[in-house]
């Protein structure tokens, strides 16, 4: 449920259109007020189906910065975090 589309290069390389977002992935925001910004995923919230991207903050009324939750359908994965064994297995299965 917390999946995003892959960039064109990753689509061709892995023969997949989308993948679940994981901590460590690099993403580009495609919709909303932060459109065009890029960063690394710092946290994934599977309960609320949201992700948090490094550098995407909003100011509260008291002046403090907090991370902004982003819907994964509004981002595109540009670089994958491949160190995860489970993800490598998924990608290798699809390539074969």
Q: What is the pLDDT of residue 94?
A: 67
Q: What is the DSSP letter of 62?
A: T
pTM of the predicted model as reported, rounded to 2 decimal places: 0.89
Q: What is the pLDDT of residue 88?
A: 83
Q: What is the pLDDT of residue 87?
A: 84
pLDDT-flagged residues of the chain (< 50): none
- Long-range CB pairs of 65-72 (<8 Å, 24+ gap) are 67/42, 67/43, 68/34, 69/45, 70/29, 70/32, 70/34, 72/2, 72/3, 72/4, 72/21
Q: Are 70 and 32 a contacting pair, CB within 8 Å? A: yes
Residue 7 structural domain: 3-95
Q: What is the pLDDT of residue 3?
A: 93
Instruction: Tell me the pLDDT tens digit for each residue of 16-32.
Output: 899 999 999 999 999 99
For residue 52, what is the domain's CATH number?
2.30.30.30
Q: How many domains does the chain have?
A: 1
């Amino acid at each position: 449920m917390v999946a995003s589309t892959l960039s064109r290069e990753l689509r061709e390389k892995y023969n997949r259109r989308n993948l679940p977002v994981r901590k460590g992935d690099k993403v580009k925001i495609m919709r909303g007020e932060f459109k065009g910004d890029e960063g690394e995923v710092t946290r994934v919230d599977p309960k609320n189906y949201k992700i948090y991207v490094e550098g995407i903050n909003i100011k509260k009324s008291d002046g403090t910065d907090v991370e902004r939750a982003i819907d994964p359908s509004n981002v595109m994965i540009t670089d994958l975090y491949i160190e995860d064994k489970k993800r490598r297995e998924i990608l290798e299965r699809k390539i074969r």
